[in-house]
Amino acid sequence: MGEQRVSALNDEKKMQKFVKALLADVQAMEYMLEHKWFESGTIRIGAEQEMVMVNKQSQKPACVAMEALEKMKDYDWVETELAKFNLETNLTPRKFIGSCFSDLEKENSEKLDKIQEVLDTMDTDLVLTGILPTLKKRDLIMDNLTPQKRYYALMEAINQQLIGNSYELKLGGIDELALKHDSPLLEAVNTSFQIHLQIEPSDFVKMYNIAQAITGPVMAISANSPLVFGKRLWHESRIAMFQQALDTRSSHDHMRERSARVSFGRDWLHKSIMEIYKEDIARFRVLLSSDVKEDSLACIKKGQIPRLRSLQVHNSTVYRWNRPCYGISDNGKPHLRIENRVIAAGPTVIDEVASACFWLGLMEGMAQRTDDITKHISFEDARDNFAKAAQFGIDSKFNWFDDEKIPASQLIREKLIPIAREGLEYRKVNKADIDKYLGVIEERAKKHMTGARWMLRGYSELKKTIGEDEALRVITAEIVNNQKKNIPVHNWPAPDTNSLKQYKISEMLVSDFMATDLFTVQKNDIIQLVAELMDWNKIKYTPVEDAKGKLIGLVSARLILRELTRNPTKRTTRTVEDIMVTDIVTVTEETTIKEAIRLMREHDIGCLPVLVNGVDLVGLITENDFIRISRRLIERMD
């Protein structure tokens, strides 16, 4: 999450002081670029590993970050992330040469093993995945925000920028998700494996444009976040979730354009890295400030290297998928980096390193083949490829060089892997590393299997025989099992319900089992319509709503049968209002299954509408759901 010593901008003078320091940092950086102060001749790579923590028994988010970190005080490489169920590790920067990738895999695996040893004492597992399948909207409440000043300040600052009344999510794939949320903590659903590549200052424009051009194919072959709140959405749903979680804009009745803080960009880079920094300052209000005591221009006059903290703080609140970064190396020299943020965490460590190897090799290979990638592909096509890859992953068809139309798997196998190999060889990466990690990419493309496809196929099959909650827990349990064995995802077997060792429902909530795809009627509908609707869809209960979706009654098959038996001659004139029940027992999404069963038995009823705000209908749980749950428990006993 970048610089931690920050605060919200709550007074005008503080804001003006910070902006003044920000502009001074821009001038200082321009001076350093012009006078060649930056490190040259050394290329390093690095990475950041984000992860989710889940309870070993329920596979649901475990909000234990602060307790876990207390037990890991000696590990200075592990730190907090936005939510209490997330952690992040920083991996050692290393030269882009020799055994760098096998060393990266070894270091990452060893650090994750050390974290898991601590989590084992807390009945918790770590999971590497773009979006945790078992995550629910209810997990994204402010109580689960990591209690640190930076995170509170960030949430406050983003909320102050909100033009509408709430944050809205709208995206569709096999299923559709449309909901509102009251905080930008929605961002916490996303976990990634962020890769850093140090760039020669003189090559930054060329290399940044290459990064933009290859983002689509790289994301397509590494997609790993297709499930959100039980919905099958984009192959890389993180892209939409991240943008919409921090999108403070609202729709208007005019055509004025407003830029999102999370974006791919609007054009190629033309002359300098400074184009990005200046655009981001011009387009986006400052969200956070830092107690900056350093005078960057005074440092320049003394021949000292400034930290440019103001510029770094602002840069950390504008989320480009290929982000430019400024840093100071251990030797005291400043350097430039590109941070690739599109690769999701997981499916396994070997998969992550393979994706990193592919991207880094492709960056170098493309640089060796072309002086200006913008002459071969338009920015519009690069951005279109990015959008396609996010939605369709390895199933995408891209617009490639010289307007060629080509499927993702074919492009990767026939064109990009050879270029990546050339780049890695140019960097003198060990042949064993090249063969191992590019071999993983090749097998993914050949078998047409990424983490996203594995989840989508497995979840769809599981839902044919078991409920949504159990299916999501099976998927998560399988991910954990395969990660512990470090099996690349193209070799994962289809998910098996036996991987879930136990399945307890006593503490589950109604929201885990309720039906949300509902058939409803209104009070002026004729009874004959309701009877046919219930017969067609084989349902016993139909909620009655008003025009705004508020629950006003309930009709059961028993009431319909009684009406048609007693009043056969009035079938065409009587309406729902004449027979519906208005004294309804209801529950909320947070009601436990145990309590729902008690209410049904106590009131001798077979259906409980699920409400939010006391009137808005969001689901239905019936006696059939409990029969299904009981059947699964009996099957598990066998």
- pLDDT for 42: 92
Can you tell me the mean pLDDT for 65-72?
Answer: 97
pLDDT tens digits for range 151-180:
888 888 778 777 666 778 889 999 999 888
CATH number of 510-637: 3.10.580.10
Instruction: Give CA angle at 234 (233, 239), nearest 5°.
Output: 120
What whole-number distance in Å separates Cα of residue 125 and Cα of residue 127? 6
Mean pLDDT score across all residues of the chain: 91
Q: Is residue 204 a contact partner of residue 272, using CB atoms and an 8 Å limit? A: yes
Checking if the pLDDT of 553 tops 90, the result is yes
| Alpha carbons 489 and 211: distance in angstroms, whole number | 25
Token pair for 523 = 């009070």
Please name the residue that has the structure tokens 């064109």.
Answer: 415
What six digits make up the tokens of 205? 């424009």
CA of 14: how far to CAs of 7, 10, 18, 19, 617, in Å? 10, 8, 6, 9, 46
**Interaxial angle between packed helices 417-426 and 349-369, expressed in degrees from 0 to 180 and rounded to the nearest 10:** 80
Q: How confident is the model at residue 187 (pLDDT cuts 50, 70, 90)?
A: confident
Pick from 192, 180, 80: nearest CA to 140 = 180
Q: What CATH number was assigned to the domain covering residues 40-250+322-447?
A: 3.30.590.50
* 146-150: average pLDDT: 90
Encoding tokens for residue 539? 């349902």
Which of 26-40, 140-154, 247-261, 426-440 has the least mean pLDDT?
247-261
So where are the chain's domains?
40-250+322-447, 510-637
Residues shown for the chain:
638
Please indicate whether residue 245 or residue 406 has the higher confidence score (pLDDT). 406
* Radius of gyration over every alpha carbon of the chain, rounded to an integer in angstroms: 27
pLDDT digits (tens, 9 = 90+) for 301-332: 999 999 999 999 989 888 899 999 999 999 99
Cα–Cα distance, 214 to 570 (Å, whole number): 68
> Is the pLDDT reported for residue 631 higher than 90?
no
Tokens representing 533 are 């609707």
Q: How confident is the model over 50-61, as pLDDT tens digits?
A: 999 999 999 999
User: pTM value?
Assistant: 0.90
Average pLDDT in the 117-133 region? Answer: 98
Residue 612 to residue 542: CA distance in whole angstroms: 18
Q: What is the pLDDT of residues 556-586, one digit of tens each?
A: 999 998 888 887 666 557 899 999 999 999 9
Residue 259 in tokens:
């830029």
Pairwise CA distance, residues 469 & 615, whole Å: 25
% the chain with pLDDT above 70: 94
pLDDT value at residue 507: 66
Average pLDDT over residues 249-268: 70
